[in-house]
Structure 1
């Protein structure tokens, strides 16, 4: 049954904030490493996790969020649409570079602290939108892009770290972007810290490997 859209959390601000609710991400020193999926991860990066079984689908007819793409959700992840994301009053929370947040999928019911967030940007190259998304976030470093696939779709993926000014520690984040006839879609995974982020990677990989344009 579709979830009722609810306003975006006004208590959240970039970088503070997984604990408060809304995690907006990405930016920093840009590096480029085109590498196929079968190339081993770079030193220090987590190994690619096993993909879990799907427990639902987001983005299709009757799902919680109307999106230009659909993808599978892991068990326990709860999606909700962002209400009025175009409202300029909330622009600091709902916009990041060229992208507007449309949907967030809460990991807490599955036992982790973090979100998958789905953003849309104007139609155009996925790499361009993703770079703009990353550049709009402060506190990021070790940014690395690669060309990959999301399901059957060509995609660009970015991995990077963000320094949290509250804890003064850096944590891993990542996102992938795909172009569709309607818009460019960015799917981002943050997390309270690097341990939480890595624990949620199977759900992110499930979304990436099952993505379809609608």
Structure 2
């Protein structure tokens, strides 16, 4: 975990979180699809709990392992609140759960989105295309356990930080639609430090 955060960038970012409760981008993506390039990551994370089943903080169409100290909470979008509705939707997807990494020592979230009535790749492409300032987009089709998974890595230009940062997401198909699990982060360093928790979710995901 890093012990320094640029105060001028962190303060406005946290203010947005406090005011709205969700963070998401909207816009258009113009970069061509590329091959996935693996980024260096920290050692793997072990599951401290499971998320998604009835009785957990977020009841989802899937379940997956949750890394220690990551704190999930369900997200319900108030359609009457235009700002919250705009931030809680990205392309075809609606945010349903957000998992806070701050108790585990990082600045960032892993968020779960659902997109009804769309093929997995189509839903994920629509999600990324709606991310403002996204570039270097790379898709990969693979498996997580027995489930087929579509993964994507890309970069987003962060105007607050005045730099590009890495982001990752994977999507799986379920009888209730496509589920997208997205990992952001304050910057690329934070993102890479959180990747083990994301990889844990991807490798342990199961349809319910």
> Structure 2-normalised TM-score?
0.85
**Over the residues paired in the alignment, what is the CA RMSD in angstroms?**
1.8
Higher helix share: 2
CA distance, structure 1, for counterparts of residue 138 and residue 150 of structure 2: 10
Instruction: Select between 180-189 and 18-27 the one with higher mean Cα deviation.
Output: 18-27
- Flag structure 2 segments of 5+ consecutive residues without an equivalent: 1-11
CA distance, structure 2, for counterparts of residue 117 and residue 153 of structure 1: 19
* Cα shift readout 1:72-103 (whole Å, capped 9, x = no counterpart): 000000000013x2524222111100000000
- Asked whether 1:62 is paired with 2:42, we answer no
Give the count of matched residue pairs: 189
SS of the residue corresponding to residue 100 of structure 1 reads strand
SS of the residue corresponding to residue 130 of structure 1 reads helix
> Could you tell me which of 176, 182, 195 is aligned with 1:201?
195
Per-residue deviation, 1:49: 4.7
CA distance, structure 2, for counterparts of residue 180 and residue 93 of structure 1: 24
Q: Which residue of 2 aligns with 1:94?
A: 88
- 5 Å-filtered alignment, 1:1-214, equals 17=13, 20-21=16-17, 22-25=22-25, 28=29, 29-33=31-35, 42=37, 45-47=38-40, 49-83=42-76, 85=77, 87-89=79-81, 90-214=84-208
CA distance, structure 2, for counterparts of residue 195 and residue 188 of structure 1: 16
Per-residue deviation, 1:32: 4.2
- Cα 1:19/1:155, change in 2 over 3 Å: farther
